[in-house]
Amino acid sequence: MPPAIRKKRKATADSATCCPTPNLRARPLVPYARFFRALADSTRLEVVGLLAEQGKELCVCEIESHFKLSQPTVSHHLRLLRQAGIVDSERRGTWVYYWLRPEAREKLRRFGDLLQS
């Protein structure tokens, strides 16, 4: 917008009297950043949903068959979930089996508790 047309913002009484409160502290949420970054992708979130729905371990071939993605792409998503502590895996011969870690459910519950308090 050209400078001649811009309107000046009027200071309100609230903005003139508002000041930061020095006693405010952030909740201990930093450890959740990696966890939620891993869940922020729709494919990874769907993998977690599959594992949660099944309630048991799934072979990587079962997970791959659910998606129209290449094997390396699915493996990449599974690796990120494993690194974030959301899933765990075990190699059995040529196949790898994945399951949802109980600690991931607990971490989500604790995060909900932090938001409630």
CATH of residue 82: 1.10.10.10
Quick check: is 5 in a domain?
no
Quick check: is 15 in a domain?
no
Quick check: is 83 in a domain?
yes
Show Cβ contacts of residue 64 under 8 Å, excluding neighbours closer than 6 positions.
Answer: 71, 74
Quick check: is 14 in a domain?
no
Quick check: is 73 in a domain?
yes
Domain of 44 in residue numbering reads as 32-116
| pTM reported for the whole predicted model | 0.73
What would the pLDDT profile of 35-81 be if each residue is shown by its tens digit?
A: 999 999 999 999 999 999 999 999 999 999 999 999 999 999 999 99
CA 25 – CA 32 distance, rounded (Å): 17
Question: Which of 96, 61, 71, 62 minimizes the C-alpha distance to 82?
Answer: 96
25, 27, 30, 36: CA torsion to nearest 10: -140
- Retrieve residue 7's tokens: 């309107």
Say how many domains are in the chain. 1
